[in-house]
Amino acid sequence: MITKRLLFIGTMAMSALLAVAFTLEVSEAADPNAFNRLMKPPSKRNPPPAKDGIHDPESVGAEALQPPKEAFSAMPKGKSGNYVDWVQALADQKIAPRFDRLDPEAKPILMDLNIVREVKGSMPNVVYPHKQHTEWLDCSNCHPAIFIPQKGANQISMAAILLGEKCGVCHGKVAFPVSECRRCHSQPKGKAATTKAEAGAAAAQPAAQPAATAGQP
Ligand code: HEC
Ligand code: HEC
Ligand code: HEC
Protein backbone atom coordinates (compact mmCIF):
# COMPACT_ATOMS: atom_id res chain seq x y z
CA MET A 1 0.00 0.00 0.00
CA ILE A 2 2.68 2.49 1.09
CA THR A 3 4.99 1.56 -1.76
CA LYS A 4 2.20 2.02 -4.26
CA ARG A 5 1.48 5.49 -2.94
CA LEU A 6 5.20 6.42 -3.07
CA LEU A 7 5.36 5.25 -6.64
CA PHE A 8 2.37 7.42 -7.47
CA ILE A 9 3.99 10.47 -5.84
CA GLY A 10 7.18 9.63 -7.72
CA THR A 11 5.36 9.70 -11.05
CA MET A 12 3.73 13.00 -10.14
CA ALA A 13 7.11 14.53 -9.31
CA MET A 14 8.54 13.27 -12.61
CA SER A 15 5.80 14.81 -14.69
CA ALA A 16 6.10 18.04 -12.70
CA LEU A 17 9.81 18.12 -13.56
CA LEU A 18 9.01 17.46 -17.21
CA ALA A 19 6.46 20.26 -17.14
CA VAL A 20 9.07 22.63 -15.70
CA ALA A 21 11.60 21.65 -18.32
CA PHE A 22 9.02 22.23 -21.00
CA THR A 23 7.94 25.69 -19.81
CA LEU A 24 11.58 26.75 -19.43
CA GLU A 25 12.22 25.91 -23.04
CA VAL A 26 9.12 27.75 -24.18
CA SER A 27 9.87 30.90 -22.18
CA GLU A 28 13.42 30.99 -23.56
CA ALA A 29 12.06 30.94 -27.10
CA ALA A 30 9.65 33.74 -26.21
CA ASP A 31 12.36 35.97 -24.67
CA PRO A 32 11.54 39.36 -26.23
CA ASN A 33 15.12 40.57 -25.91
CA ALA A 34 16.42 37.71 -28.04
CA PHE A 35 14.77 39.37 -31.04
CA ASN A 36 15.49 42.97 -30.02
CA ARG A 37 18.53 44.08 -31.99
CA LEU A 38 18.75 47.26 -29.87
CA MET A 39 19.67 45.16 -26.83
CA LYS A 40 22.48 43.25 -28.54
CA PRO A 41 26.15 43.76 -27.70
CA PRO A 42 28.31 44.95 -30.64
CA SER A 43 29.65 41.45 -31.39
CA LYS A 44 26.09 40.12 -31.93
CA ARG A 45 24.83 42.95 -34.18
CA ASN A 46 23.82 42.37 -37.81
CA PRO A 47 24.43 38.58 -37.83
CA PRO A 48 24.54 36.70 -41.15
CA PRO A 49 21.10 35.60 -42.49
CA ALA A 50 21.50 31.96 -41.42
CA LYS A 51 22.08 33.07 -37.81
CA ASP A 52 19.69 36.00 -37.48
CA GLY A 53 16.72 34.00 -36.19
CA ILE A 54 14.59 35.32 -39.07
CA HIS A 55 15.78 33.28 -42.06
CA ASP A 56 15.56 29.49 -42.20
CA PRO A 57 19.13 28.23 -41.57
CA GLU A 58 18.28 25.00 -43.46
CA SER A 59 17.56 26.91 -46.64
CA VAL A 60 20.29 27.31 -49.29
CA GLY A 61 18.88 30.79 -49.87
CA ALA A 62 19.99 31.90 -46.41
CA GLU A 63 23.61 31.14 -47.35
CA ALA A 64 23.27 32.86 -50.73
CA LEU A 65 22.25 36.19 -49.19
CA GLN A 66 24.97 38.75 -48.60
CA PRO A 67 25.72 39.12 -44.86
CA PRO A 68 24.67 42.60 -43.60
CA LYS A 69 28.09 43.26 -42.04
CA GLU A 70 29.72 42.92 -45.46
CA ALA A 71 27.03 45.02 -47.18
CA PHE A 72 27.19 47.75 -44.52
CA SER A 73 30.99 47.99 -44.30
CA ALA A 74 31.19 50.85 -46.82
CA MET A 75 28.19 52.73 -45.39
CA PRO A 76 28.33 55.79 -43.13
CA LYS A 77 27.93 54.67 -39.54
CA GLY A 78 24.79 55.27 -37.49
CA LYS A 79 24.32 55.15 -33.74
CA SER A 80 21.53 52.57 -33.47
CA GLY A 81 19.19 50.26 -35.35
CA ASN A 82 21.40 48.44 -37.84
CA TYR A 83 24.14 51.05 -37.25
CA VAL A 84 24.00 52.61 -40.70
CA ASP A 85 23.10 56.29 -41.20
CA TRP A 86 20.77 55.72 -44.14
CA VAL A 87 20.02 59.40 -44.71
CA GLN A 88 23.76 60.04 -45.07
CA ALA A 89 24.16 56.90 -47.21
CA LEU A 90 21.62 58.32 -49.66
CA ALA A 91 23.26 61.77 -49.61
CA ASP A 92 26.65 60.12 -50.31
CA GLN A 93 25.03 58.13 -53.17
CA LYS A 94 26.02 54.82 -51.56
CA ILE A 95 22.46 53.66 -52.22
CA ALA A 96 20.07 54.53 -55.03
CA PRO A 97 16.37 53.84 -54.41
CA ARG A 98 14.85 52.20 -57.50
CA PHE A 99 11.84 54.35 -58.28
CA ASP A 100 11.97 52.98 -61.81
CA ARG A 101 11.92 49.28 -60.93
CA LEU A 102 8.37 48.64 -62.16
CA ASP A 103 8.07 51.59 -64.52
CA PRO A 104 11.18 52.86 -66.34
CA GLU A 105 9.49 56.26 -66.76
CA ALA A 106 8.73 56.67 -63.05
CA LYS A 107 10.36 59.64 -61.33
CA PRO A 108 10.53 60.31 -57.59
CA ILE A 109 8.34 63.15 -56.35
CA LEU A 110 10.52 65.10 -53.95
CA MET A 111 8.99 67.56 -51.54
CA ASP A 112 10.95 69.88 -49.26
CA LEU A 113 8.47 70.81 -46.54
CA ASN A 114 9.12 70.61 -42.82
CA ILE A 115 6.24 70.13 -40.42
CA VAL A 116 7.01 71.38 -36.92
CA ARG A 117 4.97 69.76 -34.16
CA GLU A 118 5.11 71.69 -30.92
CA VAL A 119 5.65 69.43 -27.94
CA LYS A 120 4.24 70.25 -24.52
CA GLY A 121 6.74 70.01 -21.67
CA SER A 122 10.51 70.18 -21.83
CA MET A 123 11.27 68.04 -24.92
CA PRO A 124 12.34 70.03 -28.01
CA ASN A 125 9.72 70.31 -30.78
CA VAL A 126 9.49 67.62 -33.45
CA VAL A 127 10.56 68.56 -36.96
CA TYR A 128 9.15 66.16 -39.53
CA PRO A 129 11.12 66.61 -42.79
CA HIS A 130 9.32 65.67 -46.03
CA LYS A 131 12.58 65.98 -47.98
CA GLN A 132 14.47 63.08 -46.39
CA HIS A 133 11.36 60.90 -46.56
CA THR A 134 10.30 61.61 -50.14
CA GLU A 135 13.85 60.95 -51.33
CA TRP A 136 12.91 57.29 -51.12
CA LEU A 137 9.28 56.99 -50.13
CA ASP A 138 6.18 57.68 -52.18
CA CYS A 139 3.52 60.11 -50.90
CA SER A 140 1.15 57.13 -50.80
CA ASN A 141 3.38 55.34 -48.28
CA CYS A 142 2.04 57.80 -45.68
CA HIS A 143 -0.94 59.66 -47.19
CA PRO A 144 -3.72 59.14 -46.40
CA ALA A 145 -3.49 55.81 -44.52
CA ILE A 146 -0.97 56.85 -41.82
CA PHE A 147 -1.29 60.65 -41.91
CA ILE A 148 -4.01 62.97 -43.24
CA PRO A 149 -2.00 65.43 -45.41
CA GLN A 150 -2.83 68.51 -43.38
CA LYS A 151 -0.66 70.14 -40.74
CA GLY A 152 -2.00 69.42 -37.25
CA ALA A 153 -4.80 67.15 -38.49
CA ASN A 154 -3.21 64.06 -36.95
CA GLN A 155 -3.03 63.16 -33.28
CA ILE A 156 0.51 61.90 -32.69
CA SER A 157 1.94 60.84 -29.34
CA MET A 158 4.94 58.87 -28.10
CA ALA A 159 2.54 56.21 -26.80
CA ALA A 160 1.18 55.67 -30.33
CA ILE A 161 4.70 55.67 -31.82
CA LEU A 162 5.89 53.07 -29.30
CA LEU A 163 2.86 50.92 -30.19
CA GLY A 164 4.02 50.95 -33.82
CA GLU A 165 1.52 53.55 -35.06
CA LYS A 166 2.10 56.93 -36.78
CA CYS A 167 5.88 57.52 -37.08
CA GLY A 168 6.26 54.11 -35.38
CA VAL A 169 4.92 52.33 -38.46
CA CYS A 170 8.49 52.69 -39.75
CA HIS A 171 10.68 54.09 -36.95
CA GLY A 172 11.91 51.20 -34.83
CA LYS A 173 11.16 48.73 -37.63
CA VAL A 174 12.74 49.83 -40.91
CA ALA A 175 13.96 53.32 -39.97
CA PHE A 176 16.04 54.59 -37.05
CA PRO A 177 14.52 53.61 -33.70
CA VAL A 178 12.68 55.65 -31.09
CA SER A 179 15.76 55.71 -28.83
CA GLU A 180 17.20 58.47 -31.06
CA CYS A 181 15.10 61.19 -29.40
CA ARG A 182 16.99 64.19 -30.79
CA ARG A 183 16.74 63.22 -34.42
CA CYS A 184 12.98 63.88 -34.26
CA HIS A 185 12.92 66.31 -31.33
CA SER A 186 15.38 68.59 -33.08
CA GLN A 187 13.99 72.10 -32.65
CA PRO A 188 14.78 73.82 -29.34
CA LYS A 189 11.78 75.55 -27.81
CA GLY A 190 11.26 79.15 -28.87
CA LYS A 191 13.92 79.01 -31.57
CA ALA A 192 12.72 78.70 -35.12
CA ALA A 193 14.81 77.63 -38.13
CA THR A 194 17.83 76.40 -36.21
CA THR A 195 18.06 72.75 -37.19
CA LYS A 196 19.97 71.40 -40.14
CA ALA A 197 16.73 70.22 -41.72
CA GLU A 198 15.18 73.65 -41.30
CA ALA A 199 18.12 75.48 -42.82
CA GLY A 200 17.55 73.26 -45.86
CA ALA A 201 13.86 74.15 -45.98
CA ALA A 202 14.63 77.88 -45.78
CA ALA A 203 16.40 77.58 -49.10
CA ALA A 204 13.58 75.36 -50.26
CA GLN A 205 11.74 74.84 -53.49
CA PRO A 206 8.85 77.15 -54.40
CA ALA A 207 6.16 77.16 -51.72
CA ALA A 208 3.62 76.39 -54.43
CA GLN A 209 4.94 72.87 -54.92
CA PRO A 210 3.28 71.19 -51.94
CA ALA A 211 -0.03 72.81 -52.80
CA ALA A 212 0.27 71.69 -56.40
CA THR A 213 1.00 68.09 -55.43
CA ALA A 214 -1.27 67.99 -52.39
CA GLY A 215 -4.13 66.47 -54.29
CA GLN A 216 -1.93 63.68 -55.56
CA PRO A 217 -1.98 61.32 -52.54
C1 HEC B 1 6.88 59.37 -44.16
C2 HEC B 1 5.53 59.87 -44.21
C3 HEC B 1 5.17 60.93 -45.23
C4 HEC B 1 5.41 60.92 -46.60
C5 HEC B 1 6.13 59.86 -47.42
C6 HEC B 1 4.82 62.12 -47.11
N7 HEC B 1 4.24 62.83 -46.10
FE8 HEC B 1 3.14 64.54 -46.28
N9 HEC B 1 2.95 64.65 -44.25
C10 HEC B 1 3.44 63.74 -43.35
C11 HEC B 1 3.19 64.22 -42.00
C12 HEC B 1 3.60 63.52 -40.71
C13 HEC B 1 2.51 65.45 -42.12
C14 HEC B 1 2.03 66.35 -40.97
C15 HEC B 1 0.65 65.97 -40.54
C16 HEC B 1 0.23 66.69 -39.29
O17 HEC B 1 0.87 67.67 -38.88
O18 HEC B 1 -0.78 66.27 -38.69
C19 HEC B 1 2.36 65.70 -43.56
C20 HEC B 1 1.73 66.80 -44.11
C21 HEC B 1 1.53 67.00 -45.46
C22 HEC B 1 0.78 68.11 -46.03
C23 HEC B 1 0.10 69.23 -45.27
C24 HEC B 1 1.00 70.43 -45.18
C25 HEC B 1 0.33 71.57 -44.44
O26 HEC B 1 1.02 72.60 -44.26
O27 HEC B 1 -0.83 71.46 -44.03
C28 HEC B 1 0.81 67.94 -47.40
C29 HEC B 1 0.19 68.86 -48.44
C30 HEC B 1 1.59 66.76 -47.67
N31 HEC B 1 2.00 66.20 -46.47
C32 HEC B 1 1.87 66.27 -48.93
C33 HEC B 1 2.74 65.24 -49.22
C34 HEC B 1 3.18 64.89 -50.56
C35 HEC B 1 2.73 65.58 -51.84
C36 HEC B 1 4.03 63.82 -50.42
C37 HEC B 1 4.84 63.13 -51.51
C38 HEC B 1 5.67 63.99 -52.32
C39 HEC B 1 4.11 63.52 -49.00
N40 HEC B 1 3.33 64.41 -48.30
C41 HEC B 1 4.83 62.47 -48.46
C42 HEC B 1 4.06 62.55 -43.66
C43 HEC B 1 4.45 62.14 -44.92
C1 HEC C 1 10.47 59.06 -34.91
C2 HEC C 1 10.42 60.37 -34.28
C3 HEC C 1 10.47 60.47 -32.78
C4 HEC C 1 11.41 59.95 -31.93
C5 HEC C 1 12.64 59.14 -32.30
C6 HEC C 1 11.04 60.37 -30.60
N7 HEC C 1 9.90 61.10 -30.64
FE8 HEC C 1 8.92 61.92 -29.01
N9 HEC C 1 7.46 62.59 -30.28
C10 HEC C 1 7.42 62.45 -31.63
C11 HEC C 1 6.19 63.02 -32.15
C12 HEC C 1 5.78 63.09 -33.61
C13 HEC C 1 5.47 63.50 -31.03
C14 HEC C 1 4.10 64.18 -31.02
C15 HEC C 1 4.26 65.66 -31.05
C16 HEC C 1 2.90 66.29 -31.05
O17 HEC C 1 2.33 66.48 -29.96
O18 HEC C 1 2.40 66.55 -32.12
C19 HEC C 1 6.30 63.23 -29.85
C20 HEC C 1 5.95 63.58 -28.55
C21 HEC C 1 6.76 63.44 -27.45
C22 HEC C 1 6.45 63.93 -26.10
C23 HEC C 1 5.20 64.66 -25.70
C24 HEC C 1 4.23 63.77 -24.99
C25 HEC C 1 3.73 62.64 -25.82
O26 HEC C 1 3.90 61.47 -25.42
O27 HEC C 1 3.23 62.85 -26.92
C28 HEC C 1 7.51 63.57 -25.30
C29 HEC C 1 7.66 63.84 -23.80
C30 HEC C 1 8.47 62.86 -26.12
N31 HEC C 1 7.99 62.81 -27.42
C32 HEC C 1 9.66 62.34 -25.67
C33 HEC C 1 10.53 61.56 -26.45
C34 HEC C 1 11.72 60.90 -25.93
C35 HEC C 1 12.20 60.98 -24.49
C36 HEC C 1 12.29 60.23 -26.98
C37 HEC C 1 13.52 59.33 -26.99
C38 HEC C 1 13.49 58.22 -26.06
C39 HEC C 1 11.47 60.50 -28.16
N40 HEC C 1 10.43 61.28 -27.80
C41 HEC C 1 11.76 60.02 -29.45
C42 HEC C 1 8.40 61.86 -32.43
C43 HEC C 1 9.51 61.19 -31.95
C1 HEC D 1 6.60 55.15 -44.16
C2 HEC D 1 7.74 55.07 -43.24
C3 HEC D 1 8.04 56.25 -42.33
C4 HEC D 1 7.18 56.96 -41.52
C5 HEC D 1 5.71 56.72 -41.28
C6 HEC D 1 7.97 57.98 -40.86
N7 HEC D 1 9.29 57.87 -41.26
FE8 HEC D 1 10.83 59.09 -40.68
N9 HEC D 1 12.10 58.04 -41.89
C10 HEC D 1 11.76 56.94 -42.66
C11 HEC D 1 12.92 56.46 -43.36
C12 HEC D 1 12.97 55.24 -44.28
C13 HEC D 1 13.98 57.33 -43.03
C14 HEC D 1 15.42 57.25 -43.52
C15 HEC D 1 16.10 56.05 -42.93
C16 HEC D 1 16.60 56.26 -41.53
O17 HEC D 1 17.03 57.38 -41.21
O18 HEC D 1 16.60 55.28 -40.77
C19 HEC D 1 13.44 58.32 -42.11
C20 HEC D 1 14.17 59.37 -41.57
C21 HEC D 1 13.66 60.30 -40.68
C22 HEC D 1 14.41 61.40 -40.12
C23 HEC D 1 15.89 61.66 -40.36
C24 HEC D 1 16.18 62.88 -41.17
C25 HEC D 1 17.66 63.18 -41.18
O26 HEC D 1 18.01 64.19 -41.77
O27 HEC D 1 18.47 62.44 -40.61
C28 HEC D 1 13.57 62.07 -39.25
C29 HEC D 1 13.89 63.30 -38.42
C30 HEC D 1 12.29 61.38 -39.27
N31 HEC D 1 12.38 60.32 -40.16
C32 HEC D 1 11.18 61.74 -38.52
C33 HEC D 1 9.92 61.16 -38.65
C34 HEC D 1 8.75 61.59 -37.89
C35 HEC D 1 8.75 62.69 -36.84
C36 HEC D 1 7.72 60.81 -38.31
C37 HEC D 1 6.27 60.88 -37.88
C38 HEC D 1 5.63 62.20 -37.95
C39 HEC D 1 8.24 59.88 -39.31
N40 HEC D 1 9.57 60.13 -39.47
C41 HEC D 1 7.48 58.92 -39.97
C42 HEC D 1 10.53 56.35 -42.75
C43 HEC D 1 9.37 56.82 -42.13
The protein residue whose alpha carbon is closest to atom 41 in ligand 3 is 167
State how far the Cα of 140 lies from the Cα of 19, in Å rounded to an integer: 50
Ligand 2 contact via 178 beta carbon (within 6 Å): yes
The protein residue whose alpha carbon is closest to atom 6 in ligand 1 is 139
Q: Which class does domain 114-213 fall in?
A: alpha beta
Ligand 3 contact via 176 beta carbon (within 6 Å): yes
pLDDT at position 177? 93
Ligand 2 contact via 160 beta carbon (within 6 Å): no
State the first-to-last Cα distance of the chain, in angstroms, to the nearest integer: 81
What is the per-residue pLDDT across 126-152, written as a single tens digit (0 to 9) for each?
999 999 999 989 999 999 999 999 999
pLDDT at position 192? 53
What percentage of residues in the chain have a pLDDT greater than 90? Answer: 54
Residue 125 φ then ψ, to 5°: -65, 155
For the cut 90, the answer to whether the pLDDT of residue 91 exceeds it is: yes
What percentage of residues in the chain have a pLDDT greater than 70? Answer: 70
- Count the alpha carbons within 13 Å of 39 in the hemisphere toward its beta carbon: 6
* Domain extents in the chain: 2-75, 114-213
